[in-house]
Amino acid sequence: MLRIKKLVWLVLLSLLFAGCAVRSPYQEASDPLEPVNRIVYEFNDGLDRFVLKPVAKGYQEYVPSPARTGVRNFFNNINEPITIVNNVLQGKPGQAAGDTMRFGFNTIFGVLGLFDVATGWGLELHKEDFGQTFGVWGFGEGWYLMLPLLGPSVVRDAAGLPIEYQMDLIARNTSDVTRYSAYTLLFISKRADLLSASDVLDSGSVDSYLQVREAYRQKRWYDIHDGNPPDEDFSDKELFGD
């Protein structure tokens, strides 16, 4: 199993580096795996409609808001080390220092992050990952991917997932039962936060697969540029790199 994971990661890295070396004149997404992606999308959508969405609605309805906020804060805090490392790799020492203090304050004074005391002290939440770092370094997004359970991605973002897993404090420091329980709670919490967005998607008349694909690509474009992208079509340089 470990060999398979390493092989998949090597394939993703090879595609990532190949993508950086090729210029693309196209402005639409690079989606050569669309037939397979659509099958995975239908699987994810069915699982969401019949399992995740009903559970998320129950979670939102029966779990008190302070408890849901505590869950969200805890997982935000547990992922701070990944953000801190990527701040450094992206050349943001000031933000790295601020996020390090945020992690320390929320862990100590916020009871392992259940309470977000740092935001009230002027230390705002940032989220950085290796996909964003690769984008800052100039790697293009490469092929669009629809991952089982995880949802939309691109080669650049997927190549960062194994690194983030190795840095995940839950993955590296808990038993199987605790780890899977924590990830289940994380999935439910995130899905509950997206209930209103999914209702808008369900009410649309256009191809939902294309909607999700383009929404994901645009969001990642904004993430890479910290919410302030250049005044140009994001897809001009994002397919395979600058």
- Whether residue 76 lies inside any domain: the answer is yes
User: 51: Cβ–Cβ under 8 A, 6 or more apart, which residues?
Assistant: none
**Residue 101: which of 90, 87, 164 has the closest Cα?**
87
pLDDT digits (tens, 9 = 90+) for 122-148: 999 999 999 999 999 988 888 999 999
Residue 91 lies in a domain: yes
- In this prediction, residue 105 has a pLDDT band, given cuts at 50, 70 and 90, of very high
Predicted pLDDT of residue 195: 84
Q: Is the pLDDT of residue 45 over 70?
A: yes
Confirm whether 178 is domain-assigned.
yes
Query: What's the pLDDT at 96?
Result: 97
Average pLDDT over residues 48-64: 94
Global model pTM greater than 0.75: yes
Average pLDDT over residues 183-212: 82
Counting Cβ atoms within 10 Å, is residue 148 exposed (0-12), middle (13-18) or buried (19+)?
Answer: exposed
Q: Which tokens belong to 214?
A: 């383009």
Q: In the predicted model, is pLDDT for residue 190 greater than 90?
A: yes
Treating both helix axes as pointing N-terminal to C-terminal, what angle do 53-62 and 176-193 enclose, rounded to 10 degrees? 80
- Phi and psi angles of residue 182, each rounded to the nearest 5 degrees, phi first: -65, -45
What DSSP state is assigned to residue 147?
Answer: E
Of the listed ranges 55-59, 80-84, 88-92, 162-166, the least confidently predicted one is: 162-166
- What band does 204 get if pLDDT is binned at 50, 70 and 90? low
CB-based contacts of 204: which residues, under 8 Å, 6+ apart? Answer: 211
Alpha helix stretches (DSSP H) within the chain: 2-21, 34-47, 53-62, 65-78, 80-89, 93-108, 117-120, 130-136, 155-167, 169-173, 176-193, 195-203, 208-224, 235-238
The conformation of residue 50, written as its DSSP 8-state character, comes to I
Q: Does a structural domain hold residue 26?
A: no
Residue 38 · residue 144 · CB < 8 Å: no
Mean pLDDT of 195-202: 70
Neighbouring residues of 127: CB distance < 8 A, sequence distance ≥ 6 = 76, 79, 83, 223
Stronger pLDDT, 169 or 39, i.e. the higher one: 39
The reported pLDDT for the residue numbered 172 is 79
Whole-number pLDDT of residue 88: 97
Q: What is the residue-averaged pLDDT of the chain? A: 85
For the ranges 89-103, 158-172, 209-223, the maximum mean pLDDT occurs at 89-103
Q: Where in the sequence is the domain holding 141, given as residue range(s)?
A: 2-21+31-227
Judge whether 239 lies within some domain: no
235 found inside a domain = no
Distance CA(145)–CA(141), nearest Å, equals: 10
If one compares 8 and 32, the residue with the highest pLDDT of the two is 32
Statement: residue 112 has pLDDT above 50: yes
| Total number of domains in the chain | 1
pLDDT tens sequence across 17-39: 555 533 332 357 889 999 999 99
Query: What one-letter code names the amino acid at 121?
Result: W
| Residue entry with tokens 């194994």 | 162
Q: Would you say residue 180 lies in a domain?
A: yes
